[in-house]
Amino acid sequence: MSASGDLAVQEIRVSTDAGPLHAQRWAPAGRDALPPIVLLHDSLGCTELWRGFPAELARATGHPVISYDRLGFGRSAPHPGVLAADFVGTEAQGSFAAVLEASAVDRFLLLGHSVGGGMALSIAAAYPERCVAVVTESAQSFVEALTLDGIRAARDSFAAPGQIERLEKYHPGKARWVLGAWVDTWLSPQFRGWSLDTVLPRVRCPVLAFQGANDEFGSARQPERIAALAAGPVGVQTLPCGHVPHRECAAQVLERVQSFVAQCRADS
């Protein structure tokens, strides 16, 4: 364990049958009794790519923050095969469940970016008694033409010299698998009918859904669908940014999340 100003920073090794997962925890001094906020990264993401956001989130909310690399990503073990078409929903019983056990976590909050937002909502549905609240950023709730167009454009951009090498920096030895897991899965015919329509009616906790007005991977229809189908209260916040609100509109995201988490804490 190391210290970063007023935060204790701890690396967590998580054992699974498929290999170890990398996780990290940021804990404000004297606030260990509060349930942690667990981060779920996007399709090309990992703990390192959250950059300074986990520490800023822990300081803003007073809650411990846990981030982990899914199997096949970042510093976690390589994935043994291809990503299954039901990977969004099965994360609740997969890597996430292993992280909960290794961290001795009972109740928790979730913050998921992009496909991690869909995972966060699926996890909330799977753990209704333990999930206090969910924050999503640019979450996909169904397969939209705009999303597929954005993925095709990103796939083409990765054909340029040096792009895979940039991804390799964050996913050592796994960059091509990571890119293929995103592109090939989302563009496959088997994934075309995917949605959270059967999941959202089982999400009972409060949800805060951020959406960038200029998001190249999803329109306002994504959070609108979450708000229409979730069983619990949903607040939608549109921000003047693209697909990564916590980086492009960091101050606004932190301020709004801090208020949301404080209200959830008062109501619980």
Written as six digits, the tokens of 118 are 């869909």
Q: How do the domains of the chain map onto residue ranges?
A: 2-267
Q: What is the pLDDT of residues 81-131, one digit of tens each?
A: 999 999 999 999 999 999 999 999 999 999 999 999 999 999 999 999 999
Q: What is the DSSP string of 98-110?
A: HHHHHHT--SEEE
Q: What is the pLDDT of residues 121-178, one digit of tens each?
A: 999 999 999 999 999 999 999 999 999 999 999 999 999 999 999 999 999 999 999 9
Q: Strands 2-4 and 7-14, how do they pair? A: antiparallel
Count how many Cα atoms sit within 13 Å of the Cα of residue 242 in the half-sphere of its side chain. 7
Cα 207 from Cα 222, distance rounded (Å): 14
pLDDT exceeds 60 at position 2: no
Q: Which pTM value belongs to this model? A: 0.96
Among candidate residues 183, 101, 92, 194, the one with its CA nearest the CA of residue 140: 194
Give the pLDDT of residue 177.
Answer: 98
Among candidate residues 46, 47, 24, 49, the one with its CA nearest the CA of residue 177: 46
CA angle 249, 250, 251 (to 5 degrees): 100
The strand ranges marked E within 166-215 are 207-212
Give the pLDDT of residue 12.
Answer: 93
Cα distances (Å, whole numbers) of residue 121 to 66, 95, 172: 17, 15, 29
User: To which residue do tokens 């059967």 refer?
Assistant: 198
Written as six digits, the tokens of 248 are 């492009």
Among candidate residues 44, 13, 251, the one with its CA nearest the CA of residue 150: 44
Give the pLDDT of residue 136.
Answer: 98
Cα 150 from Cα 115, distance rounded (Å): 14
- Amino acid identity for residue 242 in this structure: G
Q: What is the pLDDT of residues 206-261, one digit of tens each?
A: 999 999 999 999 999 999 999 999 999 999 999 999 999 999 999 999 999 999 99
Cα 120 from Cα 40, distance rounded (Å): 7
Q: Which CATH superfamily is domain 2-267 in?
A: Alpha/Beta hydrolase fold, catalytic domain (3.40.50.1820)
Q: Contact, 110 vs 120, CB < 8 A?
A: yes
Q: What is the pLDDT of residues 44-90, one digit of tens each?
A: 999 999 999 999 999 999 999 999 999 999 999 999 999 999 999 99
pLDDT exceeds 70 at position 31: no
Among candidate residues 120, 178, 176, 114, the one with its CA nearest the CA of residue 144: 114
- Amino acid identity for residue 144 in this structure: E
